[in-house]
């Protein structure tokens, strides 16, 4: 299994460029801060829960959008392995028959979460310089980021 690299670039005017690359395949797009305004804190909550060995949930779906396209980030935990699948929908109707898998990666749960941690750490460190809250139109998810960071260090 190849190492996953995740990049969330500094937001601009309510949009953020994101990317996933594991050496075999890659996916890059831009995402919007609305209508799924809780996407970043929800992503951090999902990642935190995935790190918990006692977690009852083994599958999570995060909704995010680009406008008019929509995305589902599907996380499936199987023992120590985690599969990330990204599905793109052509509109906000989210018809499963219309969706297309645009990226998939399977790796160790902790390693995949660590890849997300690197990009969130960079967003956190640059939040004042990049005027994160102004440019993303929402506050940085401090509480969720701190919980995720603590869980990853266990």
CATH number at residue 45: 3.30.2450
Range of the domain at 101: 5-153
> How many folded domains does the chain comprise?
1
Of the pLDDT bands very low, low, confident and very high (cuts 50, 70, 90), residue 22 is: very high
Q: How far is CA 82 from CA 23, 43, 51, 111, 122, in A?
A: 17, 14, 10, 9, 23
Residue 37 above 70 pLDDT? yes
Convert the pLDDT of each residue in 103-148 to its tens digit.
Answer: 999 999 999 999 999 999 999 999 999 999 999 999 999 999 999 9
Work out the mean pLDDT of the chain and round it to a whole number.
94
Put residue 94 in one of left, alpha, beta given phi > 0 → left and psi -120 to 50 → alpha. Answer: left
Task: Show the tokens assigned to 75.
Answer: 């996380």
Q: How far is CA 90 from CA 29, 31, 41, 60, in A?
A: 14, 14, 24, 21
Rounded percentage of the chain residues whose pLDDT exceeds 70? 99
> Which helix H or strand E contains 5, and what residues bound it?
strand 5-8
Cβ–Cβ under 8 Å, residues 46 and 75: yes
What burial letters (b/e) apply to 27-58, b meaning 16+ CB within 10 Å?
Answer: bebebbbeebeebbbbbbbbbbbbbeeeeeee
pLDDT at res. 42: 97
Of the pLDDT bands very low, low, confident and very high (cuts 50, 70, 90), residue 153 is: very high
pLDDT at res. 1: 63
């Amino acid at each position: 299994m190849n190492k996953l690299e995740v990049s969330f670039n500094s937001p601009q005017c309510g949009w953020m460029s994101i990317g996933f690359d594991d050496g075999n395949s890659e996916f890059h797009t831009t995402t919007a801060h609305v209508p799924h305004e809780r996407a970043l804190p929800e992503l951090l909550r999902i990642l935190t829960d995935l790190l918990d060995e006692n977690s009852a949930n083994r599958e999570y779906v995060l909704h995010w959008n680009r406008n008019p396209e929509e995305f589902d980030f599907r996380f499936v935990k199987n023992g120590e392995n985690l599969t990330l699948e990204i599905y793109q929908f052509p509109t906000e109707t989210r018809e499963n028959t219309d969706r297309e898998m645009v990226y998939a990666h399977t790796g160790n749960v902790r390693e995949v979460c660590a890849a997300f941690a690197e990009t969130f750490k960079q967003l956190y460190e640059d939040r004042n310089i990049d005027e994160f809250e102004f440019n993303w139109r929402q506050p940085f998810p401090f509480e969720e980021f701190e919980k995720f960071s603590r869980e990853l260090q266990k």
